[in-house]
Structure 1
Amino acid sequence: MSDYLVIYEQTGTGYSAYAPDLPGCITTGNTIAETRANMEEAIAGHLAVMREFGDPIPQPSAVAERLPISA
């Protein structure tokens, strides 16, 4: 089991999410919870298709950090 970084962004209609280590693996949802559930499904499907086509599965490498900025 691998832990892939997922980035969530608020949109005008809800949320979107993507996994930087899995190009093209994106989803949306009305809430963060819905988007998270959709992303779990999207990652599982993305990895299944990669395996089906014999593509190498990338190891998680992306990291994120919040930096407090006082301006």
Structure 2
Amino acid sequence: MRRVSYRILLRKESEGGYTVTVPTLPGCATCGGTIEETIAMAKESIETYLEDLAERGEEIPTEEDTLEYTLTIEAHA
């Protein structure tokens, strides 16, 4: 078994709590009431997602060749 790392993105929701997505794993998303709870839920979701891929014999995506940038632009609304 190998260890893999995934970036997660947490978004604070207006009604409370947080939503988390995993950009490298399409459709892998969950939510929680606190940041800590949301991170724990993300770990569980990722593990389930990867188990499902393995059961179907599909390749496990990694972020080895992923470059990340943050762009700041002026938005005229």
TM-score range (shorter-chain normalised) is 0.7 to 0.9
Q: Percent identity?
A: 33
Q: Does 1:42 align with 2:25?
A: no
One-letter code aligned to 2:68: V
Aligned counterpart, 2:75:
none
Please, what is the CA RMSD of the aligned residues? 1.8
Deviation at 1:2, TM superposition (A): 1.0
2:38 maps to amino acid: T
Q: Distance in 1 between matches of 2:9 and 2:69?
A: 9
- Summarize the alignment of residues 49-60 of structure 1 with structure 2, pairs less than 5 Å apart: 49-60=52-63
- TM-score, normalised to structure 2's length? 0.78
The 1-side partners of 2:6 and 2:67 are apart by 8
Q: Which amino acid aligns with 1:7?
A: L
TM-score, normalization by structure 1? 0.84
Tell me: higher relative CO, structure 1 or 2? Use CA pairs within 8 A at least 6 residues apart.
1
Which structure has the bigger radius of gyration?
2
Q: Deviations over 1:3-51 (max 9, x none)?
A: 1000000002210001000001101000000000000000000000000
- Residue segments in structure 1 that go unaligned for 5+ positions in a row: none
Structure 2 segments unaligned to the other structure (5+ residues): 73-77
2: CA distance, partners of 1:28 / 1:62:
26
